[in-house]
Amino acid sequence: MRTIKQFLNRQVSAAIESCTGLRDSNANVITASKVEFGDYQANGVMPIAKQLKVNPRELANQVIEELRSFNLNIVERYEVAGPGFINIYLSDTELLRRANAIINGKLPIIPKSEISLRIAVDYSSPNLAKEMHVGHLRGTIIGDAIVRILEKQGHQVIRQNHVGDWGTQFGMLICYLQELQQTNGKEYPAALTDLERFYREAKSRFDSDRKFADRSRQAVVDLQSGDQESQQIWTQFIEESLNHCDEIYSKLNITLDRSHLDSESQYNDQLTGVIKKLSEEGLLSESEGAKCVFLPQFIGKDGSKLPVIVQKSDGGYLYSTTDIAAVHHKSHTLDIDRALYVVDARQSLHFQQVFAVSKEAKFATEKISLEHISYGTMMDSAGKPFKTRSGDTVKLIELLDESVSRAYTLVTEKNPDLADEERKVISEKVGIAAVKYADLSKNRTSDYIFDWATMLSFEGNTAPYLMYAYARIRSILAKANMGGPYETISELKSPLEHLLLTKLIQFPEIVDTVASDCFPNLLCNYLHELAGIFMRFYEECPILSADEDIRQSRLSLSNYSSLVLKQGLELLGIETLTQM
């Protein structure tokens, strides 16, 4: 099933072909940038006219003539605008037909994509040595929204939580846990309830006691070579650390669970194979005792080639080695079409190198598309990386608790008469939604300023505003006693109704764009605009007091608006409430 935009693109492209003989030209149909330009505009004629050295407005007129001969139901009329744009106005009759099919459940709100791909999404992926901190927030939230969207489109999504559970730090943690176990007997697991503190204490032992440091280094070697006791302690540690993650995921309504683990340690056995294959492909060189791959496209500032180190001189493997093995697994075992890595922008060189080496050595299949979905750093309102007052990283769990408690204060101000129980439920949802939405609504590639006041505001492009808009529509429907089944939208009396319905029909187009480019902020913008149009409609077009026919029709339009808002927020991992 195609969206209207895709359909129009093909039609305009076909019309251009009839007029010029050029095949598969880019009609560049976009949502109209202003209401004065209709519902869609085709911008593709001007570059083609330039290429063919003909008058663009004349060509646009010819293309429109051709389009008219296609008799498309969906189009009411066309017009040439400015230097050669084609404005396209949709037909109300056809819009209503489509909308009613959706409202009555004959068509899905979001159609399945034409081809179902196998898509692996690596996201969240914290290092397990420490507790999850604010640095993990963005990847977790953005990744989960992308996963939900792709799944909704009918793709086969494989979630991968590529947790860091295998680095050198684990030696230190194992040794420290061993010590506690010996001195405190059974009490030791309590030390792991505060993982952050445990890590700090272990680290200070490591830094101040050489014998402890030596034992720690040995412990890594033991662990990685399969020593039973080290493995057992390590397993306990990882288990505790994962419990911390699970708590965060459930609080944040993140769809990751234990079955999605794609831990670094799982690749341990494959690392020697990676080195062997690189050597067979003639890609391996030695540099200062380390095994490296040099590729011509990676050049340092001084003009010398940059190495991708895959094995250190002491025999240890690196982060890159594991990631190369993981590309092989995705390509050859999981048969993946698209692999997305939702990871901090600071790892961009790492991924460029891993992808390049994997392709060069054929760890990657021809078909796999490897994509780093990068995101910027979370900053405080002074524009500095987000830290606690004492300069420590902020624990995620504390941040979320703070958001919920701030939301509670706000909800209490707004709704003092509500029972305390209900205020708690609402603030739990609003507090979490505010944090998630604030992140999702920013362009992920920029650094992002974390600011309580804006994210919890009931105005602007925020979760509380959208959740409130949704609750508002539901309460209108409840007042009208309209619990469904819903009647049809029978007519669009005012231009605002046309605008609202067109916006609603465009929902799958936005979902499509986010699925391919992975910018959830576009979906946020869309929902914010939609809610704004609905509010205008609500103010300008009487609903409950209108004549019966119009009342029914407008109630159905409101119902459809609420369905899209709910579905849109759900795709972002945000739950709605019927009362706020």
Residues 6+ apart with CB under 8 A from 249: 124, 140, 255, 256, 257
| Least distance in angstroms from the C-beta of 162 to ligand ARG | 4
How many chain residues are in contact with ligand ARG, going by CB under 6 A?
A: 10
In sequence order, what E strands does 2-69 have?
29-31, 40-42
Rounded CA gap, 568 and 532, in Å? 15
Residue 429: both structure tokens together = 């949802």
143 binds ligand ARG (CB under 6 A): no
Q: Where are the alpha helices (DSSP H) in 460-506?
A: 463-479, 495-505
Considering only 20, 100, 127, 441, the residue that binds ligand ARG (CB under 6 A) is 127
Of 534, 553, 549, 576, the C-alpha closest to 492 is 553
Rounded CA gap, 357 and 363, in Å? 8
| Span from 82-90, 119-127, 249-257, 376-384 in contact with ligand ARG (CB under 6 A) | 119-127
| Least distance in angstroms from the C-beta of 120 to ligand ARG | 10
Q: Which is nearer to ligand ARG, 343 or 426 (CB)?
A: 343
126 binds ligand ARG (CB under 6 A): yes
Rounded CA gap, 82 and 57, in Å? 8
| Least distance in angstroms from the C-beta of 323 to ligand ARG | 5
| Least distance in angstroms from the C-beta of 126 to ligand ARG | 6
Residues 149-188 within binding reach of ligand ARG (CB under 6 A): 162, 164
| Least distance in angstroms from the C-beta of 544 to ligand ARG | 52
Binding mask 254-293 for ligand ARG (x = CB under 6 A): ----------------------------------------
The phi, psi pair for 374, rounded to 5°, reads -90, 155
| Least distance in angstroms from the C-beta of 341 to ligand ARG | 6
Q: Which is nearer to ligand ARG, 355 or 450 (CB)?
A: 355
Q: Which is nearer to ligand ARG, 341 or 468 (CB)?
A: 341
Q: Which is nearer to ligand ARG, 125 or 265 (CB)?
A: 125
Of 440, 405, 437, the C-alpha closest to 423 is 405
Rounded CA gap, 383 and 447, in Å? 9
Rounded CA gap, 263 and 268, in Å? 10
* Burial of 540: CB neighbours in 10 Å, binned 0-12, 13-18, 19+: exposed
Asked if 229 and 237 count as a contact pair (C-beta separation under 8 A), the reply is no
Considering only 39, 131, 222, 323, the residue that binds ligand ARG (CB under 6 A) is 323
- b/e burial code for range 487-523 (CB count within 10 A of at least 16 → b): bbbeebeeebbbbbbbbbbbbbbbbbbbbeebbbbbb
Residues 338-367 within binding reach of ligand ARG (CB under 6 A): 341, 343
Residues 471-530 within binding reach of ligand ARG (CB under 6 A): none
| Least distance in angstroms from the C-beta of 344 to ligand ARG | 7
In sequence order, what E strands does 10-104 have?
29-31, 40-42, 75-81, 85-90
| Least distance in angstroms from the C-beta of 223 to ligand ARG | 18
Q: Which is nearer to ligand ARG, 56 or 135 (CB)?
A: 135
| Span from 49-57, 122-130, 418-426, 503-511 in contact with ligand ARG (CB under 6 A) | 122-130
| Span from 90-98, 125-133, 545-553, 566-574 in contact with ligand ARG (CB under 6 A) | 125-133
Q: Which is nearer to ligand ARG, 341 or 437 (CB)?
A: 341
Q: Which is nearer to ligand ARG, 396 or 456 (CB)?
A: 396
Q: Which is nearer to ligand ARG, 56 or 126 (CB)?
A: 126
- Provide the terminal-to-terminal Cα distance of the chain, rounded to the nearest Å: 37
Residues 6+ apart with CB under 8 A from 519: 443, 444, 513
Q: Which is nearer to ligand ARG, 44 or 126 (CB)?
A: 126
375 binds ligand ARG (CB under 6 A): no
Considering only 46, 78, 109, 122, the residue that binds ligand ARG (CB under 6 A) is 122
Asked if 89 and 8 count as a contact pair (C-beta separation under 8 A), the reply is no
In sequence order, what E strands does 263-377 have?
284-287, 290-299, 305-311, 338-344, 369-375
Q: Where are the alpha helices (DSSP H) in 480-544?
A: 495-505, 507-517, 520-540
Q: Which is nearer to ligand ARG, 164 or 171 (CB)?
A: 164
| Least distance in angstroms from the C-beta of 201 to ligand ARG | 21
| Least distance in angstroms from the C-beta of 385 to ligand ARG | 15
Rounded CA gap, 406 and 454, in Å? 12
Could you list the residues that contact ligand ARG (CB under 6 A)?
122, 125-127, 162, 164, 323, 326, 341, 343
